[in-house]
Structure 1
Amino acid sequence: MEKKLANELVDFIYASPTQYHAASTVKEMLDREGFTELFEKDSWNLKSGEKYYLKKNDSAVIAFEVGTGSVIEDGFRLIGAHTDAPGFRIKPNAEMKVEDQYVRLNTEVYGGPILSTWFDRPLGVAGRVALRGESPLKPEIKLVNINKPVLIIPNIAIHMNRSVNEGYAFNKQKDTLPLVGFVNEELEKKGYLMSLLVEELGVNSEDILDFDLFLYEYNKGCVMGINEELISTGRLDDQWMVFAGIKALLGSEKIKATKVMVCIDNEEIGSLTAQGANSNLLRRFLERVVIALGGNTEDFFRALANSVMISADLAHAVHPNLPEKHDPTNRPKLGMGPVIKIAASGSYSTDSVASAIFMEVCNKAEVPVQKFVNRSDVKGGTTIGPMSAADLGIPVVDMGAPLLGMHSVRELASVKDNFYTVKAFTEFYNIK
C-alpha cells in the first residue's frame, strides 16, 4: 500500500509540471469524486454534507465538504499547501540567436531554485496560453504541456571554468538560458516558441496573445533505493502536500466541521498575488461559505473562533553528508514521520497550542511526529502559515514532511513519510 501511494504521488507530480496543471489535476480528482465547481461570479447555495470547490486564476483550488453540524459552532478544519515550485519562467520575446548557429530562450528565475541542478537535463515547457476570445475582456485560456525534451541548459566544460567545483556564482541572465537548437530559417520566420505552441494547441499563431510558460524536467520521477524506500522527483515542495491533503479530504469521513483543502499559488515568490496566501482570497472564501449557509459577518467571526489550520509545506531532514547544518537537538530524519516547524522569529506560525493539536492528531493516527528548529546561526525560510494565522486569527500549525534537496530540480523523500502524512491529514479531517 505504501509503495502504491508513492507511485500515485509520482504520477500526480508528473501530470502537474506547473501550478496550472497541478490545479487542473486536483480538479480532475475532485470531479471524479462528485465535487461541484463553484464560480466567484455566481450566488452560492450550499447544502449540508455536500462537496464543492473553487478555482482561482487557473492555478489555485479550494476544495471543501460542508459539515453536518453548524459551521458557526463547529467551524472550519483547514489544510493549506501551495501548487507552485521554483524554476524558470520564459520571458516575452524570448528567442536569442548566438554565433549565427544557436538559438536560446530568454528566461527569468522563479522563486529560489538550486540553479546547478537544472544543467544538462532535458527540459519540457508547460503553462497556460491566452488566446483571442469573443470579447477583448475575456481571452480564451488553454493549458499547454510540451511534454518533449525540447530544451537544455548546457554546462561549460570544466577546462574553461576550472573553479566550478570550488564554488561558482551563476549569472542568472547569462549562464542559465536554455538552448533550443540550431538556427533554422523557416522556424525563425514563424518563431521557435510560437511554432511549438501552434503545433501543440492546434491554433493560429495570430490568436496567441500571451502566455505564462515555465521550464520543467522532462524525465519522470521514480520510487528508488535498495528497498524502494525513497521518492526522487521534482516539485515535492509543495505539490506533495497538495496531493496528501486532497487524498485525505477524499478519504475522510463526514464530520460536523466543514473540511477545507486550500491549494494556493505563488508561495515561492512571496504570495502577494490575487491567488496567493498574502491576499484576502481565503478569508473572503470562508466568509462566503458562512453567508451561503445562512450566516452573516458576525457568524463568520464566530466560525473562525472554532477553526484550526495546518500549513503544510516541506521540512529539512538531516543531511547525511552535512549533519552539522542542523540544530543540535531537533534533527528530523527521512522515514520518521511528519515534522512540526518552529521559529522564534515567527517565520513559522507554530506555537505550543498549535503544536499540541497536531501532536495529538498524529498520536490518534498512530503516526510518529518530529520537530524542526533552525540552527540559531542560520536563517530559515517561511510558509503560508504566518500569513494565514495573522489574517484569520486562528491556530495554525506549520508542518511538513521531511525532505532532502529542497528546491533542487530533483528532491528526495521517503515512501513511508508519504503514507504517514496522508494518514495524519485524514485523521485531522476525521476527528469528531
Structure 2
Amino acid sequence: MENKQLAKDLIDFIDKSPCSYYSVKNTEDFLKDHGFKKYCLKEKLNLKTGDKGYFVINDSGILAFDIGSENIEEKGFSLVGSHTDSPGFRIKSNPVMKNAGLIKLNTEVYGGPIFSTWLDRVLSLAGRVSLKTDKALEPELRLVNIDKDLLIIPNLAIHMNREVNKGFEYNQQKHLLPIMALDSNEKVDNDYLTELLADELKVKAEDILSYDLYLYDRQGGALVGANEEFISVGRQDNLSMLYSSLRAFVEGSPKGVNILLATDNEEVGSRSIQGADSPMLGDLLERIAIGLGKTREDYYRAMANSFLISSDMAHALHPNFEEVADPTNRPILGKGPVIKYAANKSYTSDALSAGIFKNLCAKANVNCQDFHNRSDRAGGSTIGPISETHLSIKAVDIGGPMFAMHSIRELGAVSDLMDFYKVFKEFYSL
C-alpha cells in the first residue's frame, strides 16, 4: 500500500464521519466488509478460535475482537484503543433563536475547540435522532447527516473591533451561535429544526423525541504541500489513530485475542457508558473470556499477559512557536510515532511499556520519538490512564505528531500515518 493512498483513504473516512456516530457506523461497515460479525450486548456469547466480531456501545463506541487462540491465559489480549469524538459544538434543546432579522441556533461547546477556526466556515449538522415507537423503553434511533451547506458563524468586521488581531475572547453564549436563515416574519419557533429533521428522515415531526446533533465543517480534507506530504483535515484527533489501527486490525494474524477499541466522549472526560471511564471495556473483555469457556481466574491471568496501546495524537514541534515545546523532547512532523510521558501520570507510559512500544517500532522498521510537556505547562490526557484505573493492564500512550490540534482543520504527515499502520500491524501479528 502506498503512503498517499492510505492518507487519501483516511481523508475519505473522516469526510464520511462528521461526528462520533458516523465514525462508528463507518468502522462497523469496514468490519462487516472484512468478515466480522455483529454481536448483541443482550445475548449470551459462545465463542471459539477463529471467531471475529464486534459490539457497538450506545451507537458511538465500538469494540471488535479477533480470536486467534482460546489459550488467553497465556496469550492475553492485544488492544489498540482510540476515541471517536472530536471537539466542536452541540445543538441544545429548543435551539431556535430570532434576532436582527435572522434565525440562529443555540449551541454549547463540546470539548476544547479552537473557537476562531470555526468562524466563517460553511457548516452543517450530523448526529442521531430518537423517534417514538409503541415501546416506551425502546425508541427508534436514526442517524442523520444534513448534506447541505446549512450554517455559518460569521465574524465581526475588523472595523467594529480594531483590536481583534491582538486577541479576542469569544463568549460561548453570544459570539459562537450559527446562523441558519433570514427571518421571513413567518411563524418560526422551536419546531423549525424539528421540521428540518423530519423532512430529512421522512418522518412526522411529532414523532421526534430528542436528538444528539453536532456542527461539522463542510469542507473536505486534502493532501497539501509541494509533494502532497501533509494531511489537512479536521478530526484527525482521533480518527487518524482509529483508521490506521482499524486497517491493521483486519489484516492482523492474532496469536491470542486482538482487540480494537474506540470509545466516545474522550474530549469531555470519558464519563459515559461508551466512554473509557466506565466498566465497559473490562466487562466486554471478561465476557469474551466467558464466551470462550474461561473462568474468572483465567480472565485475570489473561489480563496479566495483555497490553494496551492507547493511541491518540501528539504535538509536533511547531516552527513558528518553538518556545512552547520542551527543551529536549521535540517530536518532528514526519518522523514517526510519538511516545507520550508525564510525571503526573496523565499518560501511562513508563520504562516497561515504552520499551515494549520501542521494540514494536524496531520490528516494524519505524522510527519513534519522545514527548514531554514543558515543565511549566499543563498538558492533556487520553484514555490510557482512565483505562488503567479500571483494568490491571500494562499500557503505553502514543500518538501521531501534528499541528493545530483541536482546530477545525488539523495538519498531520502522510508518512506518519503509514508508520502507525506498520506498527499496529506488527502488534496485531504477535
Q: TM-score range by the shorter chain?
A: over 0.9
Given that 2:248 and 2:422 are in contact with CA atoms closer than 8 Å, whether structure 1 keeps it comes out as yes
- Structure 2 residues not aligned, in runs of 5+: none
- Whether contact under 8 Å (2:152, 2:178) holds in the other structure is yes
**Residue type of the alignment partner of 1:366:** N
SS in 1 for 2:117: helix
- 1:13-24 to 2 correspondence within 5 Å? 13-24=14-25
Tell me the equivalent position of 2:198: 198
C-alpha separation between the residues in 2 aligned to 1:20 and 1:213? 10
Q: Contact 1:75 / 1:307 at 8 angstroms: preserved in 2? A: yes
After TM superposition, the structure 1 stretch with the greater mean CA deviation from structure 2, 69-78 or 278-287, is 69-78
What TM-score results when the alignment is normalised by the length of structure 1? 0.98
Matches within 5 A, 1:5-20: 5-20=6-21
1:406 is matched by which residue type in structure 2?
A: M
Residue 189 and residue 331 in structure 1: after superposition, are their counterparts in 2 closer, same or farther (change >3 A)?
A: closer
* AA aligned opposite 2:32: D
Contact 1:83 1:242 in 2 (8 A): yes
Alignment partners' CA distance in 1, 2:267 and 2:130: 23
Counterpart of 2:109 in structure 1 is 109
CA drift at 1:68: 2.3
| 3-state SS in 1 of match to 2:150 | strand
Cα distance in 2, alignment partners of residues 64 and 57 from structure 1: 18
Please give the secondary structure, in 1, of the residue aligned with 2:428: helix
Alpha-carbon contact 1:248-1:426 (below 8 Å) kept: yes
Match of residue 169 from structure 1: 169
d(CA) in 2 for partners of 1:276, 1:266: 6
Cross-structure match for 1:258 = 257
Which residue of the partner structure matches residue 247 of structure 1? 247
Residues 83 and 238 of structure 1 are in contact (CA less than 8 Å); yes or no, is this contact kept in structure 2? yes
Q: 1:34 aligns to what? A: 35
* Distance 1:218-1:287 versus aligned 2 partners, 3 A rule: same
Between Structure 1 and Structure 2, how many residues are aligned?
429
**Which residue number corresponds to residue 25 of structure 1?**
26
Give CA-to-partner distance per residue, 1:222-272, whole Å, 9 cap, x none.
11111000000000001111111111101212x321000001000000001
What CA distance in whole angstroms lies between the structure 2 residues aligned with 1:236 and 1:187?
A: 41
Distance 2:184 2:326 in 1: 54
Give the match's secondary structure for 1:406: coil
Pairing of 1:326-341 with structure 2 (within 5 A): 326-341=325-340
Q: One-letter code of the match for 1:41?
A: K
Residue type at the aligned position of 1:323:
E
- The SS at the match of 1:388 is helix
1:254-299 per-position Cα deviation (integer Å, ceiling 9, x unaligned)? x321000001000000001111000000000001011110012111
Matched, 1:145 2:145: yes
Task: Report deviation, 1:149.
Answer: 1.0
Matched with 2:69 is: 68
1:11-55 Cα distance to aligned partner (Å, 9 max, x none): 000110000000000000001111011111100111112101000
CA deviation profile, 1:162-204 (whole Å, cap 9, x unmatched): 1111111110000000000101355726833123212211111
> Which residue number corresponds to residue 429 of structure 2?
430
1:46 aligned onto 2:47: yes
C-alpha separation in 2, matches of 1:285 and 1:92: 33
Q: Which residue of 2 aligns with 1:96?
A: 97
1:398 aligned residue: 397
Q: Would the aligned equivalents of 2:310 and 2:397 in 1 still touch at CA under 8 Å?
A: yes
1:10–1:222 CA contact under 8 A, matched in 2: yes
**Aligned residue type for 1:40:** L
Question: Where do 1:404-415 residues align within 5 Å?
Answer: 404-415=403-414
TM-score, L = length of structure 2: 0.98
Alignment of 1:122-141 (within 5 A): 122-141=122-141
Q: How does 1:310-321 map to 2 (within 5 A)?
A: 310-321=309-320
Does residue 218 (structure 1) correspond to residue 218 (structure 2)? The answer is yes
* Corresponding letter in the other structure for 2:130: A
Query: Following superposition, which runs of at least 4 residues in structure 1 exceed 6 angstroms of deviation?
Result: none
Rounded Cα–Cα distance in structure 2 between residues aligned with 1:187 and 1:355: 61
**Aligned residue in 1 for 2:348:** 349
Q: How many angstroms apart in 2 are the aligned matches of 1:184 and 1:128?
A: 29
- Indicate if the aligned counterparts of 1:38 and 1:53 stay in contact, CA closer than 8 A: yes
The 5 Å alignment of 1:358-397 reads: 358-397=357-396
Provide structure 1 residue ranges, at least 5 long, that are not aligned to the other structure: none
Query: Where in structure 2 are the equivalents of 1:265-284 lying within 5 Å?
Result: 265-284=264-283
Worse-matched range after superposition: 178-187 or 19-28 = 178-187
Using the alignment, how far apart are the partners of 1:409 and 1:241 within structure 2?
Answer: 17
Deviation digits for residues 326-360 of structure 1 (CA, Å, limit 9, x no counterpart): 01111101110010000001000101100000000
Identical residues among aligned pairs (%): 49
| Match of residue 81 from structure 1 | 82
Q: Distance in 1 between matches of 2:159 and 2:83?
A: 41
Q: Structure 1 residue 67: deviation in Å?
A: 2.0
1:138-168 CA deviation, whole Å, 9 max, x = no partner?
0000000012110000000011111111111
Aligned equivalents of 1:338, 1:225: Cα separation in 2: 21
* Matched residue type, 1:306: N
Structure 1 residue 69: deviation in Å? 4.6
8 A Cα contact 1:69 1:256, kept in partner: no
SS in 2 for 1:273: coil
Amino acid across the alignment from 2:191: G
1:380-419 superposed Cα distances (whole Å, 9 cap, x missing partner): 0000000112221211000001010000000000000011
| In 2, Cα distance between equivalents of 1:348 and 1:308 | 15
Question: Residues 289-316 of structure 1: CA distance to partner in whole angstroms, max 9, x if unpaired?
Answer: 1111001211111110100010000000
Contact 1:59 1:275 in 2 (8 A): yes
Alpha-carbon contact 1:233-1:411 (below 8 Å) kept: yes
